[in-house]
Amino acid sequence: MVEIGEASSGGGQGVTSRSARAIAWALLAISLACIPVGIAIVALTGIPVGQAVLLAPVACATFATVGALVSAGAPRSAVGWLLLGIGLVMGASILTSALNRWDVARPGTFTGASFVALADGQLWLLPLGFLIPRLLLLFPDGRLPSQRWRLVSWSQFAVLGGLLVSAFMPGPIRDYEQYVNPIGIGAFDFLHRLPAVLTPVVGALFVFATLGAVLAVIVRFRRSRGIERLQMKWVAWAVGVTAMLWVANPLVQRLFHTSVLEPLSLIGLVLSPVAVGVAVLRYRLYEIDRIISRTLVYGALTVVLGAAYAGLVLGGQAVFSSFAGGSNLAIAVSTLVVAALFLPLRSRVQRFVDRRFYRRRYDAQRTLERFGARLREQVELEALRGDLVGVVGETMQPAHVGLWLRTEAAR
């Protein structure tokens, strides 16, 4: 009702919100439209692709969808538009990469191959060099942490300017040496000498801008309270899980000669935009402590049980090597032992995590357990009432506690 009144009275806020929503959904439609077109072109070429290429559409759809939802819900925040920009660039990159594959499979069958090669070589620099560092700097409210961070902000725009200038450098296209830059300005002699100066300068600015953005996230997290602390926890959880999967994947490949974690490590990329969307829109925001607790418990449990399983298998093979089928017997015994350890070990890890990271909840649970034990033995009403009031005050910590009991006449 408030939005309708503002719009009908001629206020620009309603019009601006409607225009922002229309732009956000239009950009989302463009991003999503690039996915099936790119997949169809790649399928027609017949060139096999890897899992990383297959995940690009998932990451594009996730970034673009979350960005559109955030931009439509909070059009004044830059966070949603940055997410949407990342999704749009990913969609365009999917399309240009597919067209480059088509040119490799059927060279000379379409014009403008040099423009597509230039776009494919430059597009991936935009999220890494500007959009993602900018998102880190402005999250979660779309503003700088303080005015002292303006130097980091200016350095990010300087990197963006350097990336735009690099698109006009004459000569062969990076990663596509068979093509010459079609928009290179060869008439200006200084552009031929510019890479020797521009590349180290932009590189130094990129390092400064990216490290500054990461430092801004750390500073915000340390200073945050209340809702902002929960928002920062969501992103910290997503980044932590993604980093853990990226570290675990090569270790599992090296130790067990299997790539079972590779899909999970790639899917971990979509956790960050989802976490940012949840944090900004505040949807199920208060679930983060439970999610972090479960992640710590099952992550530690997986590591411990995986190490125990590997140790039991190796040890069992040495013990049962003299028996027929000793290897299979060691695997079977190790599986049974690990299965038997799961529930008791999970309870111990859960208690350790609660005691170390969620001390208030752990103390409240212990208090309730002790009260439950006394409740089974307590028969005096006055003592029970005192225990109940004390337990509620200790666990819930209210400003005031009162207890009313019905008398025999009231019954």
pLDDT tens digits along 128-142? 889 989 998 888 888
How many separate domains does the chain show?
2
- The answer to whether residue 6 is domain-embedded is no
* Diameter over CA atoms, the chain: 103
- The answer to whether residue 382 is domain-embedded is no
CA atoms within 13 A on the CB side of 81: 14
Range of the domain at 314: 300-357
- The answer to whether residue 379 is domain-embedded is no
- The answer to whether residue 241 is domain-embedded is no
Of the pLDDT bands very low, low, confident and very high (cuts 50, 70, 90), residue 172 is confident
> What pLDDT sits at residue 403?
64
- Let me know whether 311 and 186 are in one domain: no
> What pLDDT sits at residue 124?
85
- The answer to whether residue 293 is domain-embedded is no
> What pLDDT sits at residue 293?
66
> What pLDDT sits at residue 88?
93
Answer with the residue of higher pLDDT: 339 or 156.
Answer: 156
- Whether the per-residue pLDDT at 320 is higher than 90: the answer is no
For residue 403, the SS3 value is coil
- Whether the per-residue pLDDT at 53 is higher than 90: the answer is no
- Let me know whether 267 and 322 are in one domain: no
- Let me know whether 207 and 350 are in one domain: no
Q: Which long-range contacts (CB under 8 A, 24 or more apart) does 331-339 make?
A: 334/309, 335/309, 337/308, 337/312, 338/305, 338/308, 338/309, 338/312
Residue among 170, 134, 167 at smallest CA distance from 152:
134
Answer with the residue of higher pLDDT: 337 or 186.
Answer: 337
> What pLDDT sits at residue 2?
29
Bridge partner residues of 141 (DSSP) = none
> What pLDDT sits at residue 13?
47
Last residue of a domain, one of 312, 340, 357: 357
pLDDT in tens, 204-242: 888 999 899 889 888 888 888 878 888 888 888 888 787
pLDDT in tens, 66-107: 989 888 888 888 888 999 999 999 999 989 888 888 887 777
- Let me know whether 56 and 192 are in one domain: yes
> What pLDDT sits at residue 308?
73
In whole angstroms, what is the distance from residue 79 CA to residue 135 CA? 6
- Whether the per-residue pLDDT at 21 is higher than 90: the answer is no
Single-letter residue type at 122: Q
> H helices within 46-143, ranges in order?
51-73, 78-105, 113-123, 125-126, 132-138
- Let me know whether 29 and 132 are in one domain: yes
> What pLDDT sits at residue 85?
93
pLDDT in tens, 277-307: 888 877 665 565 666 666 666 667 677 777 7
Answer with the residue of higher pLDDT: 127 or 1.
Answer: 127
Last residue of a domain, one of 314, 331, 357: 357
- Let me know whether 112 and 230 are in one domain: yes
Tokens representing residue 165 in the block = 């200038």
- Let me know whether 85 and 230 are in one domain: yes
- Phi, psi (degrees; rounded to nearest 5) at 403: -135, 125
- Whether the per-residue pLDDT at 396 is higher than 60: the answer is no
Residue among 66, 60, 1 at smallest CA distance from 32:
60
- Whether the per-residue pLDDT at 1 is higher than 80: the answer is no
Cβ atoms within 10 Å of 92's Cβ, excluding its own: 19
Last residue of a domain, one of 357, 379, 398: 357
In whole angstroms, what is the distance from residue 302 CA to residue 289 CA? 20
Residues 32-51: what's their mean pLDDT?
A: 81
- Let me know whether 272 and 341 are in one domain: no
* Average model confidence (pLDDT) across the chain: 75
- Let me know whether 213 and 314 are in one domain: no
- Let me know whether 219 and 333 are in one domain: no
- The answer to whether residue 244 is domain-embedded is no
- Let me know whether 73 and 191 are in one domain: yes
- The answer to whether residue 248 is domain-embedded is no
- Let me know whether 205 and 104 are in one domain: yes
- The answer to whether residue 384 is domain-embedded is no
CA-to-CA separations, 242 to 50, 90, 143, 324, 387, in angstroms, rounded: 20, 19, 26, 43, 46
